Structure 1
Amino acid sequence: MPKIVELSLFEYELSNGFNWTDRDQEAIAKLEKIVGDRLFSFEFHNGKREIRAKQYVGVFRLGQRKVEVLPKMYRFPESAKQEAVRNLLYMLEYTNQLNVKQYSLASLYQQNLDWFEILTKLFATNLLEEWQRGAFRNYQSMSDTLPVLKGTWNLTEQLRRPERKHLFAVIFDEFTADNQLNRVLRYVVERLYQLTRNFHNRQMLHELQQWMEEVTLLPRVNAEDLRLIPITRLNQRFEPLLNLARLFLENESLQLSSGNFQTFAFALDMNKLFEEFVISFIDRHRHEILPNHLQNCELLPQSQHETKYLATTEGQDVFQLKPDLVMRQKSSFPLIMDTKYKRLKEGDHKLGVSQADFYQMYAYAQRYKCPNVLLIYPQVVGMSELKAKFEIERGTITAATIDLCGDLSKQSERDKLVERLRGLFADSQGV
């Protein structure tokens, strides 16, 4: 088997010394079509075609080449990869997208697995543990033809098949593991078994295949199917696994073309993850972070039920505004917060805040009649805390960084983040 050529990049970093071919470019174009966004750009450097990563972190396979993209926040120290993986796992756990047991993290770091294989290991390990405790079972309506009456006699079906006078067409309830929740989990097990290249992951997934033989293997499952699965107290322990399954299903992008040239992408949009983590953190620590006069505010992620527009045309609202977090106090909006997963510039009197982003914040302030807008950016390793306050008509727009590069699994680092956010919220209010 040909050796896999591996490459690690940080977001927006340019590869060096890889002469990417037309075939590689076509494979990336296929992946981008499936993901629905740009994953890489191509540039010529020293006469060679190179790729530059975008804002997606994850693992990308192009035939015998594998590219792992890590967050730009961790670009400088030697321990960057381990720190990046550790905090990515924590951010996903904090936003309820997976469940990570702390005792398992050390072994994950020591095995030098890529991002996809780490999540595969977490999925397989946790599913094996839960399945051995007992599969989720519930009553499912079944139709069958039996030599005895069981459940309800299906007379309509019986009359359609008069030649089966000695058999009964029946409908009955059966307490079974062959239900939609387990069918989704089995489908993900089968997909991961095809994609993993780690021996131990493959071994665990094969064991799961044997455990789950009674569950129907569906030909196709997508992320939307998970919304149809009700979470109850009986199956709640499987919810973290369903969240992780959703991550895999949203990234399902295996393509095989002539010559068995395999392409695969597992990508996380850091713009979205950064936004979800910051909002979840503020919501969970609101009593420690928010000033007294904001304690009673409703926190509305994605401006829930308070969507506004910039204009109307022919009686229809157009140009929708959708702040990441709106704070509502009765009928007023004392503060709006937005996140931007971009790097600010030290030494610039505007901190490198883009004109388009500032116009967007100004529109929020005017349309919501909000006196204070807080714009939060990630802090990059080696950069000091940055903050700038811009005075506008009847209010202010504050741009600032928060540090997510420390070990967020430690209480001391979370306390620092609480303190930083408390200071930003207080300062944006002039407190």
Structure 2
Amino acid sequence: MTIQVREYATLTCDTSRETSMDLGVVSQATFDWLLELQQSWKGRADLLSIEGKTRLKLCSYAGYLQSPHGEAIEILPKTEYAIPTGPERLRRLLHTMLRSTLGLKHREAGAAELLRSRTPLHEWVIRQFLKELADLVRRGLRFDYRNVEEQCRFIRGQLDMTRQIRQTPEKATHFHVRHAEFSPQRLENRLIKTALDIAFKLTKDSDNWRLANTLSHQLVDIEPINQPLRQLGHWHHGKMMQSYSIINPWCRLLLEQLNPNFQKGKHKGIALLFPMEQLFERYLKACLRQQLAVGAKLTPQVSRRHLLSHAPDSAEDETVQNWFVLKPDFLIEQKGVCFVLDAKWKLLDQRLSTSEHKYGIKQADLYQMFAYGQKYLDGKGQLMLIYPKHNDFERPLPVFRFNDQLSLWCVPLDLYTGKLIEGDWLGSFDCFQFSAA
């Protein structure tokens, strides 16, 4: 049983309620598992909040949850206020955003691929991993030399004289040798085999299972790694390993998201979740790079400035300390001019143009942008807040002015095309290559 909801939906164990994209009905056992999952959750933001004894409210995560009792919850992005008629478009959007954040080129999807896109998110991720692994095996895995020390009945390589001298008489016919073996047991292959074992264990899709079974037989001689997360940082990205570059993000995704705690003990289940704020920010980075003018430089997560400096009385050397780093999402530099941009995964409403509602813009976001303008632009220049486009926010808002020299624009991004919606802001941001129309 799969329940389809979207961000900020309510989950309840009250079976008298009717299910929708904003309300999911789960069993009491799954409800209790979700409570346990929240208590053990290690993400930067809460997975869900508790609203009474029978209600839970999801936070800003999209992805897939499956309890040990078999119930599955598919969480899709909330891209508009109205309840969508079907989840397929949102699911494909989530796939597109994930591909972009992993740095992978979009592939034209045929009828079969569109059909598979209706499967749960973790099955889609497993499918992408298995396809890339099949291509890699077809091209050939990379082998490497490794040092082997063993005891055998013939001399192979170099004889270990120290250990041989200490050999007992009953084993006089054995030799302690050292030699280099050309082996597939290199770190990257072992990490891939570990991810393959996870995929083979979790998949319920028949096509995925058959492909994983075939690949498992082809990689049967490669040993998995017990603690792969500790070894991921040692993946080699040199010129000789370019053929592994495409499978690396899928392998990392399986090991980081579908590995560890959710497969063991009382929390056994599947949790493949992505914080939408981070996913939108990374997706926007990929989109902006496609729209920059020649010579413009995009720097994400820049941290060159601090909110204030301070020299504590207790400091013996009277060193001035910088406090509260200011880290805008994007800084664009072109011909000595800087532009500051920030991504906000929130739904604005262009109809709420009153001083009371203020389009739904958060006051804290404006304070934040004002600080960026003072510290990064010296109080003179152009700032931009980028929000997702939807039916009630289809065009850029009129300019906001902190003063005569510092302006702020709120611009929608079309999530399906990856393009900023053109408007009056174009005259102030020559760092983008847009037509004047």
TM-score range for the pair, normalised by the shorter chain length: 0.7 to 0.9
User: Within 1, Cα distance between the matches of 2:191 and 2:151?
Assistant: 27
| Structure 2 Cα separation of the partners of residues 309 and 151 of structure 1 | 63
Structure whose CA Rg is larger: 2
Residue of structure 2 equivalent to 1:129 = 135
Q: Secondary structure at the match of 1:234?
A: helix
Give yes or no for contact 1:12–1:52 (8 Å, CA) kept in 2: yes
| Aligned-partner SS, 2:182 | strand
Partner SS, residue 361 of structure 1: helix
- Residue 310 of structure 1 corresponds to 308
Alignment length (residue pairs)? 401
Gaps of 5+ in 2: 18-24, 313-319
Does residue 199 of structure 2 align to residue 192 of structure 1?
yes
- The 3 A distance-change label for structure 1 pair 20 and 49 is farther
State how 1:222-261 maps to structure 2 within 5 Å. 222=229, 225-252=231-258, 253-257=261-265
Give the AA of the match of 1:357: D
Local SS of the residue matching 2:346: coil
Alpha carbons of structure 1 residues 76 and 121: separation in structure 2 relative to 1, 3 Å: farther
Superposition map of 1:30-429 within 5 A: 30=37, 33-36=40-43, 37-44=45-52, 49-62=54-67, 63-73=69-79, 80-98=86-104, 101-103=107-109, 106-111=111-116, 112-159=118-165, 161=167, 164-222=171-229, 225-252=231-258, 253-257=261-265, 262-287=268-293, 295-303=294-302, 306-312=304-310, 314=312, 315-328=320-333, 334-349=338-353, 350-370=358-378, 371-381=381-391, 383-393=393-403, 394-404=405-415, 406=416, 408=417, 417=419, 420=421, 424-428=425-429
Structure 1 residue 71 displacement after superposition: 0.9
More helix, by proportion: 1
Helix, strand or coil for the counterpart of 2:74?
A: strand
Query: Does the aligned pair in 1 maintain the 2:30–2:71 contact within 8 Å?
Result: no
Q: Are 2:396 and 2:422, in contact at CA under 8 Å, matched by a contact in 1?
A: no
Q: Is the 2:305–2:376 contact (alpha carbons within 8 Å) kept by the matching residues of 1?
A: no
Q: Distance in 1 between matches of 2:165 and 2:427?
A: 76
- CA separation of 1:423/1:32 partners in 2, compared to 1, >3 Å: closer, same or farther? farther
**Contact 2:328-2:341 at 8 Å conserved across structures:** yes
Distance in 2 (CA, whole Å) between partners of 1:157 and 1:328 is 64
Which structure has the higher relative contact order (CA within 8 Å, separation 6+)? 1
Taking a change above 3 Å as real, the CA distance of residues 108 and 369 of structure 1, as seen in their structure-2 partners, is: same
Letter of the aligned partner of 1:180 in structure 2?
L
CA contact (8 A) 2:382 2:428 kept: no
* Amino acid aligned to 2:211: M
Question: Are the aligned partners of 1:140 and 1:175 in contact in 2 as well (CA < 8 Å)?
Answer: yes
Three-state SS of the structure 1 residue aligned to 2:228 is: coil
Counting aligned pairs with the same residue, the percent is 22
Distance (Å, rounded) in 2 between the aligned partners of 1:110 and 1:69 = 19
For residue 184 of structure 1, what is the amino acid of its counterpart?
Answer: L
1: CA distance between counterparts of 2:227 and 2:348? Answer: 43
Larger CA deviation: 23-32 vs 140-149: 23-32
Match of 2:8 among 12, 36, 57: 12
1:102 match: secondary structure: coil
Q: CA shift at 1:428, angstroms?
A: 5.0
TM-score by length of 1: 0.82
1:120 deviates by 0.9
* Conservation of the 8 A alpha-carbon contact between 1:389 and 1:397: yes
CA displacement at 1:377 relative to structure 2: 0.8
Structure 1: state its 5+ residue gaps.
288-294, 409-413
Q: 1:198-253 CA deviation, whole Å, 9 max, x = no partner? A: 2222222122211111111222211x522211113332122221101212222134
Q: 1:243 is paired with a residue of what secondary structure?
A: helix
Question: Whole-Å Cα distance in 1 between the matches of residues 82 and 300 of structure 2?
Answer: 33
Cα deviation, residue 74, structure 1: 6.2
CA RMSD of aligned residues (A): 3.0
CA distance in 2, matches of 1:392, 1:120: 49
Whole-angstrom CA distance in 1 between matches of 2:168 and 2:291: 68
- Scaled by the length of structure 2, the TM-score of the pair is 0.81
Partner of 1:411: none
